[in-house]
Chain A
Amino acid sequence: MLRLRFLWLILALVVVSALFLTLEAKGSWSFTLWFRGQKLASLLLIGAAVSIATILFQTITHNRILTPSIMGFDALFLLILTLMIFGMGAGAYAQVPKVTLFLINLILLTLASVALFTLLLRDQRSDLMRMVLTGIILGVLFRSLVLFIQRLIDPSEFAVLQSASFARFNKADPDLLLVSAVLVCLAGGAIWRMRHRLDVLALGEVLPVSLGADPRRGQLTVLMLISVLVSVSTALVGPVAFLGLLVSSLTYRVIPSWHHGHILPAAILIGGITLVGGQLVLERILHFETPLAVVVECLGGLVFLILILRKGST
């Protein structure tokens, strides 16, 4: 049963990817394949990073509504980026190699988010809704701070930053692509080895104790891995608030299993199908001007609203 569903998912991903590479190709094949191959790789990477991060976050917070982006992770990434440009000046900023910058940013984000979210998660037991609201409000605060600091930066330097703060699935940087691929693979490997531990973490606060396991052990590691994955996706495409939620709710629907050994691969596949398929439909079939990010925002927001309303009425 599960195996059949996995086969279908893999088949779907292969089909959309093949269509994405070949549909409406004009001019030389080698160029088209190389050009589109890069796009495809970045879409798959982002899909994997966002879906894994979301599933992990939902596991350690024991609910299926929260995602790292809803709690303001990627806004925090942008804030750190902005503060760095503001502190160094865009001239100095442009001279540092991109990869170095990305790694510095990654370390800062990991530190900041671990500090912030251990604080927030402590509150969770008393009031889940308050924590969600706090996360959303913090996201708005970070984004406002970004806008505010952007205006303090010289208008000429402003352009450097502006290009970094919009979600765009089409223009991932090839330099960053390689680093990101390595990082996602490393994080993914670490998570795969933790998959049984994650099954225990998902049980909640009380049950693991009676099984003789400390529910907090591993939480910190998972939080750090989430930060890495969020940095990768935000650095590649910018903020995407509701993509993770869309993917994770689809995953729980398609794969009715509690094992992370099943959920995580399925989430990666579904993330890829959503992004590649969405891009395919939007760009090649409907010929829409609108970026995929906007459509995903809209759909994901609706899913969030439905989940929240259902949660509230039970």
Chain B
Amino acid sequence: MPRLWLLICLCLILLLSVLSIFVGVIDLSPMALLRDPEALQLLAVSRLPRTAAAVLTGCSMAVSGQIMQILVRNKFVEPISAGTGQAAALGILLSVLLFPAAGLAVKMSLAAVTALLGTLGFLALVQRLPPTEPLLVPLVGLVYGGILGAVMVFIAYQVDLIQYIDVWMLGEFSGVMRGRYELLWLAGIAAFVSYLIADQFAILGLGRDMSLSLGLNHRQVMAMGLLCVSVVSALTVVTVGMLPFVGLIIPNLISRQLGDNLRVTLPVTALLGGVFVLGCDILARVVRHPYEVPVGTIFGVLGTLAFLWLIYARPRNA
């Protein structure tokens, strides 16, 4: 069963990638690629990077969503809407303010640090919540993210950087070009590393006492998870902006269909995330051709609908 899903997702990713290469403002036909050097240029500078960026973002966000759900031990959270994304954006804003001349690497590192702090803050809040109210966790997450976002808007107003903020708040891929997305490969690597220790994450999901008694280095695995979530969030916010709800829907869908054995399900989760983000990006390019709709708005609509479905169709024993 998981193999079948894996196969289908792989096929879909290949299919959508081919489609993604030929959809855009400038017409590009397969024949032109053979004859026209300019078409090849377009492919290498814009279409291929964009396709890769969408797939990488989708995969790593789905995985980081899954890990976040394990860290918090709640199925209804994901990093981008629970404070990590906003904290990362706050970090970028601070780096623009404090080190205006610094390169992408500095921005990215500062964003990762603030994302880590933001996630730690969320975890500290969640610890104070009663375990009997699972829906309180996403609620607190959304408000916590909203407050961090308001702090960011406040600072941005004071220093007259409010236009910048929109770029990070609403994710889209139209700005992706060769030379401006390569950091996302790091996110992909982070997702892959977490696959290598998927078993330990699965044990972590059983809770602190249980995982300690099974001989897991609880603290270390927890730190790995936090690191992965923060790095992936910071990278995606820096390069393409916030894409909410991907990390929520995909892991939940897979967990309902295939169960919670992460070693088996994590690759499917990652690939399905890629399929979803790439598909939405193609939709964003097509729906109002020749203009583009930011893919973040499509996620906002689809993601909230899926979220509503999740909280109303949740199994009785969940």
Contact = CB atoms under 8 A, between A and B. Distances in A.
Contacts, number: 110
Contact of B154 (A130, A148, A290, A304): A290
Contacts of A308: 136, 139-140, 143
Given A130-B311, A148-B300, A305-B143, 15 more contacts: A129-B135, A129-B136, A133-B135, A133-B139, A133-B311, A141-B300, A144-B297, A148-B293, A155-B291, A288-B158, A289-B158, A301-B143, A308-B140, A309-B128, A312-B129
Nearest to B170: A147
B304 A137 contact: yes
A143 B300 contact: yes
Interface stretch (B26-34, B53-61, B144-152, B204-212): B144-152
A83 interface: no
A64 to B, nearest CB: 15
A293 B58 CA distance: 34
B140 A298 contact: no
A152 interface: yes
Contacts of B139: 129, 132-133, 136, 308
Contacts of B130: 312-313
Contact of A151 (B150, B297, B304): B297
Interface of A: 127, 129-130, 132-134, 136-138, 140-141, 143-145, 147-148, 151-152, 155, 241, 288-291, 294-295, 297-298, 301-302, 304-305, 308-309, 312-313
B103 to A, nearest CB: 28
Contact of B301 (A127, A145, A241, A309): A145
Given A143-B300, A302-B147, A309-B128, A151 B294 contact: yes
Contact of A144 (B138, B147, B158, B301): B301
- Which of A132, A241, A305 has the most B CB atoms < 10 Å from its CB? A305
Nearest to B135: A129
Interface of B: 125, 128-130, 133, 135-136, 138-140, 142-144, 146-147, 150-151, 153-154, 157-158, 160, 170, 244, 287-288, 291, 293-294, 297-301, 304-305, 307-308, 311-312
25 contacts: A129-B133, A130-B135, A130-B312, A133-B138, A136-B142, A136-B143, A137-B308, A138-B304, A140-B244, A141-B304, A144-B304, A145-B300, A147-B300, A148-B293, A151-B294, A288-B157, A288-B158, A290-B153, A290-B158, A298-B150, A298-B154, A305-B125, A305-B147, A312-B128, A313-B128
- Which of B130, B138, B142 has the most A CB atoms < 10 Å from its CB? B142
A138 B143 CA distance: 14
Which label, helix, strand, loop or mixed, suits the secondary structure of the B interface?
helix
Contacts of B300: 140-141, 143-145, 147-148
A301 B146 contact: yes
A312 B133 contact: yes
Contacts of B147: 298, 301-302, 305
A147 B311 CA distance: 24
- Which of B128, B133, B144, B299 has the most A CB atoms < 10 Å from its CB? B133
Contact of B308 (A134, A144, A152): A134
- Which of A132, A136, A241 has the most B CB atoms < 10 Å from its CB? A136
Contacts of A301: 143, 146-147, 150
Contacts of A140: 142, 244, 300, 304
Contacts of A294: 150, 153-154, 157
A312 B136 contact: yes
